[in-house]
Amino acid sequence: MASYMLVNCSNCRTPLQLPAGAKAIRCALCHAVTHIAEPRNVPPSPYSNGAPPANPLQYSPSVPSAHGSKRALIVGISYKYSRYQLKGCINDAKCMKFLLMNKFQFPESSILMLTEEERDPLRLPTKQNMRMAMFWLVQGCKSGDSLVFHYSGHGSQQRDYTGEEVDGYDETLCPVDFETQGMLVDNELNATLVRPLPRGVKLHCIIDACHSGTALDLPFLCKFNSYGQFAWEDHRPRSGAWKGTSGGDAYSFSGCDDGQTSADTSALSKVTSTGAMTYCFIQAIEHGHKTYGSVLNGMRQAIRNANTSSGGIGGGGVTTLIGMLLTGGSVAGGLTQEPQLTSANLFDINMPFTL
């Protein structure tokens, strides 16, 4: 693992990862340059031993006042010019930003975009930049704040050796440089985004990726029976590890179950490629679904309708790394994916949905 240290931006106090030996670093958020007179005196990064910090907020004491009570991190990765290339993920990011600004009144200044189209190298969706951006999203949050994390890109799995996962696998997200820097594992996503949330703060995650059902490691998974009734499945680790918040609420809509894949397709929009899950989520909101349960059912029904009307969600590919590696490109054809809803706390899914 590369050696680096963690320092706070001299202007906005965002934690920045300083490569060993570097004497200055520029913040991707406020663009201020922080000079380090004696790098050896800077405390080491909490990730220097490969493990996430117990409480990321202790490294993030404040947040720029301009961000207000609503802020969002949107990540869209196309893996351009690689064998894993996807077509719809940056479209997803742009559509999600439009939805947040126009439907839920998120100020543009409170939305941080990480895509390969960004000119600032510190806003490219690398593993390091994604980590820094996730810190930014939750740092200094307080009661009444609404946070959103949207990710569209590859998702995968890796063997879990801790005994926490019932199926034996951790779920992962794949930064643009995952082949050299590794993937972001659900344990780290939970520790960074979920556990620090104080009472009164709401976090909504929209994860459009393969194997994303429990990508945030939230304790409870919503299941429906054949009569449309819902029940919560307990996914708390058998080890007793705490995967909840510090009093806040965290919800995650994801593209599919842990064992399923998600589509990158033009079959839904009929115009251009999008992630099936992101497209259906936005459509559910636009069509007036107003509760958590109806949003989830609206998404699932849209995917079923697309499969029925077109003989399968074609016109694109499956965002699975293994499938693309084996075929050398996209995987076309039908697809069955069931969007999932997980939560840090048990709640009535007929509760009004808002961001």
CA atoms of 150 and 152, how far apart (whole Å): 7
Average pLDDT over residues 348-353: 94
Q: Write out the E strands in 68-218.
A: 70-76, 111-115, 146-152, 155-159, 169-173, 184-185, 202-208
Name residue 45's amino acid.
Answer: S
For the question of residue 210 being annotated catalytic, the response is yes
The DSSP letter of residue 15 is E
Predicted confidence at residue 305, as pLDDT, reads 79
Active-site residue identified among 67, 154, 211, 289: 154
Bridge partners (DSSP) listed for residue 34: 25
Q: At what angle do helices 276-286 and 292-310 cross, to 10 degrees?
A: 120
Does residue 180 or residue 42 have the better pLDDT?
A: 180
Domain with CATH 3.40.50.12660 in the chain: 69-343
From the candidates 95, 141, 210, 280, which is the catalytic residue? 210
CA-CA-CA-CA torsion sign (295, 297, 302, 306): positive
Q: How far apart are CA 315 and CA 335, in angstroms?
A: 11
Name residue, tokens 């696998």.
169
- What is the structure's pLDDT at 26? 73
Mean pLDDT value across the chain: 77
The span from the CA of 310 to the CA of 261, in Å, is 18
Helix (H) or strand (E) holding 341: strand 340-343
Query: What's the pLDDT tens digit per position in 98-123?
Result: 999 999 999 999 999 999 999 888 89
Percentage of residues of the chain with pLDDT beyond 90:
41
Query: Distance (Å, rounded) from C-alpha 48 to C-alpha 52?
Result: 9
pLDDT in tens, 166-209: 666 788 999 999 999 999 999 899 999 999 999 999 999 999 98
Tell me the two tokens of residue 298.
């609206």
For residue 49, pLDDT beyond 70: no
**CATH code of the region 69-343:** 3.40.50.12660
For residue 65, the model assigns a pLDDT of 40
d(CA 126, CA 121): 9
Q: Distances from the Cα of 172 to the Cαs of 131, 190, 215, 258, in angstroms?
A: 13, 11, 7, 10
Backbone angles phi, psi at 294, to 5 degrees: -70, -35
Strand, coil or helix: what is 277?
Answer: helix
